[in-house]
Each structure stands twice: as structure tokens, then as C-alpha cells.
């Protein structure tokens, strides 16, 4: 999430009651999760496993729960509970803001765009020109829709990320990490009925120009889908996935988190993708493999009973 204007790190330290060291005169330009940080961002870390990764990341300002050596140009904000400090900042800069109108007065709808009955458009939403929003669509706060976009009935754009911080020392075992990101949909995108596209935890979920999405597809938080991709029905994509240009996912493909599928790749129906895939190839199976290799494996799997019978004949003629 980018702040509307840079915020002095000294103000943030005071706001979350942190001990500030390092770059005390810096300006914070946004807040982000570790997997999406940029220069000028503030990020939190509360587990030793991620200390070094966070300290060496692009983040300039780090909320942490221990004193440690400070990389050049960065600042540490030391608190007892970095996660709660993160939530305090999110709730301050992007608070929950209910709207009781079907189309919020704080949103903008472009020329010749049609919004059909029972669709809800939240606060600070921007919808471009020549779009068709069919009945019972929900577009949540801060989402951006480009020009010539079609969204079929019952789809939800901008639901909260499925993202929780596990706390074993609390009564509430999984603490919700409030989402302050957005969904950004580029021009000429078509989204089918009953789809769900989660907003980023702190950055954007993005759907590139010309991408077409079938019915009942789920796209997780902070996922980047580039231009002219094709997603068939019941595809499920976890968080922080990148689909490069022209990727095709056929029906019921499942995609694991934090991976990339390269440009022009095709994944056949009912495949399970556990790791990054090279572009320009066709894939199949669960776990997925190159389609030709997997087809050969299936041929041999079918022959197992025959091979077993040959190795262990029932009638030895004795």
C-alpha cells in the first residue's frame, strides 16, 4: 500500500511506540509484506527465520522485535510485537469504511459503463469506460477496473486475502492479517460468473490486459496475471503467483503459492502445479510434468498389472 504522501519515520515510531535507530530522518512511502517490499516501504518481521532476509530486502524501514546491526541507509523500529504494530498502521492508513449504498458516492464510473441491478461498488473504486458489470457482482474498496471489462454475475472482486499469522501463545490461534492491498484489472479483461479475486495483503493483485477468465475461478492475494492469459473453469491459484504472458490453464488446474509459470506455457486440465514452470511448454499431471513425459508414465502405469503377471505367473505349469 502506498501512502497518499510520505510519512516521517519518526512519526511512525511515535505512533507505534517503537525505539527508533538508524535512519531517523527518512520518509516512509508505503507499507508492505516481505514478499512485495520496495525501497521506501516499511515492513515487519517477528521470527528469527526471516530476520536476515528482511534486513537485506528492499525495505528501508523495518519493524522488528530485537536490536540488531542496521544495514546502511535503513532504520529499525524495535517493538515487542511487530505484527500488532503492522496492524495498527494498516488500520490507521486504510481503516474499515462501510458503505450502505449499492454504488458508493466515493467511487467513479466511466463513460458508457453499465452496472446492472444488485451489484455493489465499494468506496474509492474506479471503473473505466465501456464496461459491463452484470447483476450481483461485488467490487470492494479501492479496486481499479480498466476499460472494456466484462464481469459476469456473482463474481467478487477484492475480497480479503486468506492470510493469517499463527500465534500459538494466544487464545486466537490464527490472527487475521488485515488486507490493505487492491485488485487492479487492466483493459479488455473478461471475468466469468462466480469467480473470486482476492486483494493483495498489502500490494496489488493484478489481471493483465486481454486476459479471459471462465466461471468459478479463484485467484489468491498478490497474484500477477499478465496479458492475454486464458483460465478455464474451476482453476484455483494460491497467493503470490505470477503467470507470464499468454499462459493457458485448463479446467481444475491447481497452482501452489509463490511460483511463476513462464510465458506461453499450457497446463492441461486437473493438473497440480507445485513449483515454477518454464515457459513455452505443455504440462500435465499431479504433480505436473511435461505433458509428453507424463503421458508416457501413464502408459507404463497401465501396463503394471501385465508386467506383474509376467513376473509372477499364476500357473507355472508344475
- Cell digits of residue 28: 516512509
Has 148 been annotated as catalytic? no
Q: Domains of the chain (ranges plus CATH)?
A: 2-93 (3.40.1390.10), 108-296 (2.160.10.10)
Q: What is the spatial order of strands in the sheet that 120-121 belongs to?
A: 120-121, 138-139, 156-159, 196-198, 218-219, 236-237, 254-255, 272-273
pLDDT value for 170: 64
Over its length of 318 residues, how does the chain's per-residue pLDDT go in tens digits? 999 999 999 999 999 999 999 999 999 999 998 888 999 999 999 889 999 999 999 999 999 999 999 999 999 999 999 999 999 999 999 999 999 999 999 999 999 999 999 999 999 999 999 999 999 999 999 999 999 999 999 999 999 999 998 876 667 788 899 999 999 999 999 999 999 999 999 999 999 999 999 999 999 999 999 999 999 999 999 999 999 999 999 999 999 999 999 999 999 999 999 999 999 999 999 999 999 998 888 888 888 888 888 888 765 544
Provide the whole-model pTM: 0.92
The reported pLDDT for the residue numbered 169 is 67
Summarised one tens digit per residue, pLDDT across range 172-206 is 788 899 999 999 999 999 999 999 999 999 999 99
pLDDT at 297: 87
What pLDDT is attached to residue 313? 76
**How is residue 12 written as a grid cell?**
511512525
Q: Which of 142, 148, 218, 221 is catalytic?
A: 221
Amino acid at each position: 500500500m502506498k501512502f497518499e504522501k510520505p510519512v516521517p519515520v519518526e512519526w511512525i515510531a511515535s505512533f507505534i511506540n517503537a525505539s527508533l535507530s538508524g535512519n531517523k530522518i527518512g520518509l516512509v512511502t508505503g507499507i508492505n509484506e516481505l514478499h512485495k517490499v520496495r525501497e521506501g516501504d516499511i515492513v515487519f518481521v517477528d521470527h528469527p527465520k526471516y530476520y536476515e532476509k528482511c534486513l537485506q530486502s528492499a525495505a528501508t524501514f523495518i519493524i522488528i522485535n530485537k536490536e540488531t546491526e542496521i544495514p546502511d541507509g535503513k532504520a529499525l523500529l524495535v517493538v515487542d510485537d511487530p505484527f500488532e504494530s503492522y496492524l495498527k498502521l494498516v488500520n490507521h492508513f486504510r481503516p474499515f469504511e462501510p458503505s450502505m449504498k449499492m454504488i458508493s458516492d466515493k467511487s467513479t464510473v466511466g463513460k458508457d459503463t453499465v452496472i446492472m441491478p444488485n451489484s455493489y461498488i465499494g468506496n474509492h473504486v474506479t471503473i473505466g469506460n465501456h464496461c459491463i458489470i452484470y447483476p450481483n457482482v461485488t467490487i470492494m474498496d479501492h479496486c481499479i477496473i480498466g476499460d472494456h471489462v466484462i464481469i459476469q454475475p456473482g463474481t467478487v472482486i477484492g475480497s480479503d486475502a486468506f492470510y493469517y499469522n499463527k500465534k500459538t501463545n494466544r487464545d486466537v490461534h490464527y490472527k487475521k492479517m488485515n488486507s490493505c492491498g487492491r485488485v487492479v484489472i487492466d483493459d479488455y479483461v473478461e471475468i466469468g460468473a462466480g469467480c473470486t479475486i482476492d486483494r493483495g495483503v498489502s500490494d496489488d493483485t493484478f489481471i493483465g490486459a486481454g486476459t479471459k477468465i471462465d466461471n468459478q475461478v479463484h485467484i489468491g492475494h498478490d497474484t500477477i496475471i499478465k496479458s492475454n492469459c486464458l483460465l478455464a473453469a474451476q482453476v484455483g491459484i494460491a497467493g503470490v503467483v505470477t503467470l507470464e504472458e499468454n499462459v493457458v490453464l485448463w479446467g481444475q488446474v491447481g497452482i501452489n503459492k509463490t511460483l511463476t509459470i513462464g510465458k506461453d506455457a499450457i497446463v492441461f486440465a486437473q493438473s497440480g502445479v507445485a513449483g515454477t514452470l518454464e515457459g513455452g511448454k505443455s504440462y500435465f499431471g499431479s504433480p505436473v510434468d511435461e505433458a509428453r513425459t507424463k503421458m508416457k508414465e501413464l502408459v507404463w502405469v497401465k501396463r503394471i498389472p501385465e508386467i506383474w503377471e509376467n513376473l509372477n505367473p499364476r500357473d507355472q505349469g508344475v
